[in-house]
């Protein structure tokens, strides 16, 4: 489906899944093995769940930024630069500022409440003690970031960096549009070819090597942009933008929907072995092992990202009311979920139940509350206009 013909429904599904996986990831973190910077940890933990979250983290945000690049190009082409900037300011910058002001104190308090209880053991902890810890003037600057809203902050940075670079190239290197035609031809020949993944994986691996963790860094604890994260997400955004210049290429992924999940499954086997090697206690990974780790990690990330794209194109290409509702609801749900997830996780940790039971209960408590709040407070109100551009009629 071309942009002129309407929405590309399969990419709505990718965007919704990326947001919902984020909620699942944060809800599941208390039940993973130690190593994640999270204030709630349960007595019942799972190696299998830790691996699942490691895999999700390899492709969730890359897929989001690819889709953002795709839709960004369509929107820019339809509105022009100035209207595009105003539109993104309303839909990205304004929600970032508003929800950060609203949620940051709640997240800090929920984080501190869980942490203070964890370190105090059986000793009772009051609200005043947790509040003092959360907003201590010496500790506050150390984690003064956008928390889970960092992706909006980085999306704005990627928009700016990409559009500035694009304007420079168009002015000085492509005044006759021949460069764009050549790039379009290269992308057409690349999609679905044997060289597609190598061409994507090699530069991505080079961008991943400077990461400070064994995976993609989460730049959520600082207001200062991390260049390594900006460059990585700009790469995925750029590929989405280039695909949007030829939307029919989405159909090429639909025809190959079996290929990318198989490649991802095969690549995961050595990736888990590499993860074991680099995370053994007391072992410092040599530089060559770091390069091998991130080369394969880039293959896992790209194959899973393209698998999401291909599977969505295969199964969700037609209009679907459920998918459209989920795409609209997922934005709000992801924006507001974190304080609730932290407090629910802390409460369930006191029950000392097996982790599958607690994880199931957490989702039974969190997801209906988020969906209900969207349906009653957002979908047919001005908040829905702010987030999704339209006010849906009340049923």
> Each residue of 26-84: pLDDT tens digit?
999 999 988 777 877 778 889 999 999 999 999 999 999 999 999 999 999 999 999 99
Query: Do residues 251 and 80 make contact, with C-beta atoms less than 8 angstroms apart?
Result: no
Instruction: Give residue 393's pLDDT band: very low, low, confident or very high (50, 70, 90).
Output: confident
Query: Do residues 68 and 237 make contact, with C-beta atoms less than 8 angstroms apart?
Result: yes
Q: For position 386, what pLDDT does the model report?
A: 87
In the DSSP assignment, the letter for residue 392 is P
> Each residue of 177-220: pLDDT tens digit?
788 889 999 999 999 899 999 999 999 999 999 999 899 998 88
What span, in angstroms and rounded, lies between the C-alpha atoms of 55 and 49? 10
Q: For position 3, what pLDDT does the model report?
A: 43
Among 116-125, 197-206, 274-283, 345-354, the range of highest mean pLDDT? 197-206
Other beta carbons within 10 angstroms of residue 230's beta carbon come to 17
Distance of CA 350 to the CA centre of its chain: 30
Instruction: Give residue 2's pLDDT band: very low, low, confident or very high (50, 70, 90).
Output: very low
Query: Do residues 236 and 160 make contact, with C-beta atoms less than 8 angstroms apart?
Result: no
| Residue of 320 and 23 predicted with greater confidence | 23
Please give the average per-residue pLDDT across 286-303, as a whole number: 95
Distance of CA 88 to the CA centre of its chain: 18
What span, in angstroms and rounded, lies between the C-alpha atoms of 306 and 10? 12
Is the pLDDT score of 359 beyond 50? yes
Please give the average per-residue pLDDT across 352-368, as a whole number: 94
Task: Find where tokens 């072992």 sit.
Answer: 283
In the DSSP assignment, the letter for residue 38 is -
Q: For position 117, what pLDDT does the model report?
A: 63
**Pick from 55, 311, 304: which is nearest to 201 by CA?**
304
Q: For position 1, what pLDDT does the model report?
A: 41
Task: Find where tokens 């031809």 sit.
Answer: 185
Q: For position 143, what pLDDT does the model report?
A: 66
């Amino acid at each position: 489906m071309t942009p002129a013909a309407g929405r590309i429904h399969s990419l709505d599904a990718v965007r919704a899944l990326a947001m919902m996986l984020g909620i699942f990831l944060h809800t599941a973190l208390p039940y993973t093995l130690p190593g994640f910077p999270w204030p709630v940890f349960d007595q019942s933990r799972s190696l299998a769940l830790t691996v699942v979250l490691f895999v999700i983290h390899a492709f969730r945000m890359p897929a989001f930024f690819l889709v953002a690049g795709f839709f960004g190009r369509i929107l820019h082409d339809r509105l022009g630069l100035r209207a595009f900037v105003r539109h993104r300011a309303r839909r990205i910058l304004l929600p970032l500022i508003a929800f950060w002001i609203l949620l940051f104190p709640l997240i800090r308090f929920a984080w501190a409440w869980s942490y203070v209880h964890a370190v105090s053991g059986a000793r009772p902890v009051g609200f005043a003690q947790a509040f003092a810890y959360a907003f201590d003037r010496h500790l506050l600057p150390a984690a003064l970031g956008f928390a889970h809203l960092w992706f909006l902050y980085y999306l704005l940075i990627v928009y700016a960096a990409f559009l500035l670079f694009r304007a420079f190239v168009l002015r000085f290197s492509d005044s006759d549009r021949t460069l764009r035609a050549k790039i379009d031809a290269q992308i057409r020949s690349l999609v679905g070819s044997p060289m597609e993944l190598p061409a994507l994986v090699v530069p991505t691996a080079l961008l991943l090597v400077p990461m400070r963790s064994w995976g993609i860094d989460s730049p959520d604890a600082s207001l200062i942009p991390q260049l390594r994260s900006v460059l990585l997400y700009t790469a995925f955004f750029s590929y989405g933008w280039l695909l949007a210049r030829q939307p029919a290429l989405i159909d090429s992924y639909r025809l190959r929907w079996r290929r990318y999940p198989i490649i991802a499954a095969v690549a995961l086997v050595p990736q888990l072995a590499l993860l074991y090697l680099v995370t053994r206690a007391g072992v410092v990974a040599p530089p060559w092992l770091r390069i091998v780790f991130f080369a394969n990690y880039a293959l896992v990330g790209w194959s899973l990202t393209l698998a999401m794209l291909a599977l969505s194109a295969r199964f969700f290409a037609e209009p679907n009311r459920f998918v459209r509702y989920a795409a609209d609801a997922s934005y709000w749900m992801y924006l507001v979920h974190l304080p609730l997830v932290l407090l629910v996780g802390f409460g369930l940790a006191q029950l000392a139940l097996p982790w599958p039971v607690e994880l199931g209960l957490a989702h039974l408590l969190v997801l209906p509350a988020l969906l209900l709040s969207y349906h009653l407070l957002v979908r047919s109100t001005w908040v829905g206009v702010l987030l999704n551009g339209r006010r849906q009629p009340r049923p």
